[in-house]
Structure 1
Amino acid sequence: MTKPLTLIHLISEQTMQNLVPLLALKPARVVHICSRDERFRAAARHIESAAREAGLDAQFQVHELAAAVPDIEPVRAALQQTLSVFPGAVVNITGGTKLMCLGSYLGASEFPVPMLYCDTDRQQFVALGKHPLPPHPSFAEVVCRLTLRVVLAAHGKPPDAWGFSRADPARLEFGRRAWVLRGQFWEQFRRYGFNRRIQSFFFSENGRVPSGKSKLAAFCEADLTRSLPDPIPGPVTDFLSAAADAGILVRMVDGGFKVGPPPGTGDLREHVERAASLLAGSWLELAVLNFVSSSSRLLDPHWSVQPRRGQPNAEDTQSFGETDVVCIALPQGNLQVISCKTSPGKPLEHLESLRERSQNLGGRFAGATLALLGSRNDQIAELRRWSRLLGVRVLIGEEIETLSDS
């Protein structure tokens, strides 16, 4: 019978270099070695939450060092003490400070145990010393099995404290068709004033949808096309037809389109407001989600990620607003936050907010992308400059298609 494996690792704020080897080796016991600092105790808890979310049933324990910034010798002594209790353990020396890394290497070198370094830049596990690592999948194989819930947990965001949407194939197809129509016939939609007319139809009561259940129910049966002046351009009709095929609108017998009732027992007001948003601009989110869903470089995409209301276990989530698309970016397994905008609005403010949101959600190495449908020529150079300074990737117009493999 194989002896249960123990993994000893150093804890830092960057949890992926701990989590990926842990998921590769599947130890029965994990010993966290961390300095006396609440940030690192919290990081250890996050790693445990992520491991449980990934289905790993392991025992965890903490060996806390006396100093907030340990020197080489205390770490070396901690490794020796831990290995005397758990001989044959695997030691991951990647986390912590450089002095902690050196101390753990020196301490482990005095025992016949395997050591590893998790090189996230090169996406590999490096075996150190004379003793080989136990059989394990590659870094790439482990990262490709990560889910958004696991990575969120690793960064201290309890998955159950967050709301997610997963678009069904019909919604993704609407995103694809909307991208083609709104891109090829952008000028026709603009001249027709489509977005303005949609807003006027849905938000007819002082900028709000009709109030009262009976008014809302009657509104859902009204023909949207009656509010659109003739002749209705062909691309607009095709766009409404695509929305009907996706269940966003309902096709009427006489050829018109209505919002219709919400599916099941859904909230009527939310149903109406969501339909208005998708027709006026949020269709771009579905278009981006469709591109991301067909990418081999972006995994487990979720749509409309936002903190749930009234979750007592949510840590630092209440200040985090809704974002558009969140996924896992290969090859390193970092979170990628993609914000979708049909126009730049206040570009610098939005880029700063996007960078902050991405790091709040996925740590210092999380990626941030702004998918922008269009911008004035005189704004593009400035947008590019700000994006470079802030570390945000900006995709404008057809560049958004690069999110897909095709």
Structure 2
Amino acid sequence: MPVLIPTLVFRPVSTQLLVTDGVRSVGENIRDALRTHQDTKTLGCHVHEPIRPYWPEDAAAQSDRIFTGRYNGRRFALNVTGGTTLMALGARRAAAEHNVPLLYVDTDNGVIITLAPDGSVTGEREITVSVPTSTYLAAHSATVSAREPWGKAIERRESWLKPFLEAATVLGQAGGGSERLLDVIRPVCSGGAAGPAELPEVTTAEESLANRLQEFGMIEVARRGGSLQVQPKGDERIRQFLTGHWLELYVYRACLTSGLFDDVCLSVDIRRRTESGTVVNECDVLTTLRGRLAVISCKTARLDHKDENKGAVYELDSLLQAELMGLYARKVLVTNRLALRPPLRNRAGLSQIECIWGPHLPDVAQRIQSCLLPGRR
């Protein structure tokens, strides 16, 4: 992203990329990413022949050819972010000879630093450019597409989604208060138990939550002494919703309506080209903000078994390796559990995964945003 961001910010007539053999495909990815962005798809992008990464003379010579070539006499700026130190030294030498100013993208602090040809800092510019999810992923040799039924329904704005989105908001705003109710419903929805489900020693808040779901036409509720009997409706979408998809819908809607993000996507497949073929990863929610990506995994099942909490972490870890998705992708695990056991929190911490659980669900959008703000690594 530090290579792509200046082009999105300044929209130059042409971007000239100096690459090495090991990262030539990165230059091609940048070119693909520009084509996905409405404002940059007509801009030129040229990937030059690879140079040696530790020979500053190569970078100096190639930079000199660019400055004196087709665009001779035009205004240039040299972005020294992303290459090796010796490449930057060589390119800077050529820039000084041609009086070309420099740029450095400090994504950690969310600014583009501008420098004079002699290397002295002349100013900073805050990174405020909007980067769509498709553009971020294209820059990392990946594409994104909505999945059936939830992602496609959002994409097509289908009317049947409205009660599901509203019910998801009710459940999400309940924080961890939905945990017991949905835990007893789950086996019935998945066919592992005969209905109705029974919730003993029901609280007033749980009964109110069940009644709201009944109003949305998703369950039938009956009070039996101190217990609540709950029968899920037979519709497959309702059963999917109650067994977990409600949390994805809630997180998506909370992020979208908050206005805090550049882009928000629900229920998508990420396809990445590799030497051995195409790899497809399913993702619950994606958000972008100022050139950073958050991949959000939503879990409503119990996470207190070692295999389950290991799987929840591994799912994010396997997708978000730095060499695959860049240094500026963030991992977020969201659950409606009232509490997270220490083994899961420790495992997530070691993998730099941000955890958001039950009591924090009402503020989920703000917490995800905080992961993407400058200064967070």
> Do both proteins adopt the same fold according to a TM-score greater than 0.5, normalized to the shorter chain?
yes
Residue 173 of structure 1 is matched in structure 2 by 166
Alignment match, 2:225: none
Q: Say how many residue pairs are matched.
A: 327
The amino acid across from 1:34 in the alignment is: V
2:42 maps to 1:42 = no
Shift of 1:157: 0.8
1:198 aligns with 2:189: yes
Q: Given the superposition, is the C-alpha separation of residues 54 and 183 from structure 1 closer, same or farther in structure 2, using an over 3 Å criterion?
A: same
Residue matched to 1:212: none
Match of 1:149 in 2: 134
Q: For 1:236, give the aligned amino acid.
A: A
Equivalent pair of 1:51/1:150 in contact (CA under 8 Å): yes
Q: TM-score w.r.t. structure 2 length?
A: 0.75
What amino acid does structure 1 have at the position aligned with 2:87?
M
CA deviations 1:309-358 (Å, max 9, x no partner) are xxxxx514854331211111x3x421111111112152123212212213
Output one character per residue of 1:125-162: Cα deviation in whole Å (capped at 9) or x when no partner.
Answer: 2221159xxxxx954321xx221111111111134698
Instruction: Map 1:4-403 onto structure 2 (within 5 A).
Output: 16-37=1-22, 40-55=23-38, 56=40, 57-67=42-52, 69-85=53-69, 86-87=71-72, 88-129=75-116, 138-142=125-129, 145-159=130-144, 164-165=151-152, 166=154, 170=162, 171-180=164-173, 183-184=176-177, 186-188=179-181, 190=183, 193-200=184-191, 227-228=195-196, 235-242=209-216, 244=217, 272=236, 274-307=237-270, 315-316=273-274, 318-328=278-288, 330=289, 332-342=290-300, 343-344=302-303, 345=305, 346-359=308-321, 362-374=325-337, 380-403=341-364
Stretches (4+) displaced over 4 A: 160-165, 229-234, 256-260
Offset of residue 259 of structure 1? 5.3
Kindly indicate whether the alpha-carbon contact (under 8 Å) linking 2:101 and 2:115 is maintained by their aligned counterparts in 1: yes
Question: 1:322 aligns to what SS in structure 2?
Answer: strand
Q: What TM-score, normalized by structure 1, do the two folds share?
A: 0.70
Q: 1:103 to 1:303 in 2, by over 3 A?
A: same
The superposition leaves residues 112-131 of structure 1 with CA deviations (integer Å, 9 ceiling, x where unpaired) of 22321122122222221159
Structure 2: how far apart are the matches of 1:396 and 1:230?
25
8 Å CA contact retained: 2:174, 2:362: no
Following superposition, the deviation at residue 369 of structure 1 comes to 0.9
Using the alignment, how far apart are the partners of 1:52 and 1:71 within structure 2? 32
Question: Secondary structure of the residue that 2:312 maps to in structure 1?
Answer: helix
SS in 1 for 2:191: helix
1:352-393 CA deviation, whole Å, 9 max, x = no partner? 221221338632431101112216x6x622222111211111
> What is the deviation of 1:291?
2.6
Where 1:200 maps in the other structure, the secondary structure is coil
Q: CA RMSD in A?
A: 3.4
Change (3 A) 1:189 1:124: closer
Equivalent-residue separation in structure 2 for 1:296 and 1:82 (angstroms)? 41
Q: CA deviation at 1:26?
A: 1.2
Percent of counterpart pairs with the same letter?
24
In 2, the alpha carbon distance for the partners of 1:177 and 1:110 equals: 63
Conserved 8 A contact 2:190-2:239 = yes
Letter in 1 for 2:14: R
Q: Is the Cα–Cα contact under 8 Å of residues 297 and 334 in structure 2 kept in the other structure? A: yes
How far is the alpha carbon of 1:21 from its aligned partner? Answer: 0.3
In the alignment, structure 1 segments of 5+ residues that lack a partner are 1-15, 132-136, 205-226, 251-255, 261-271, 309-313
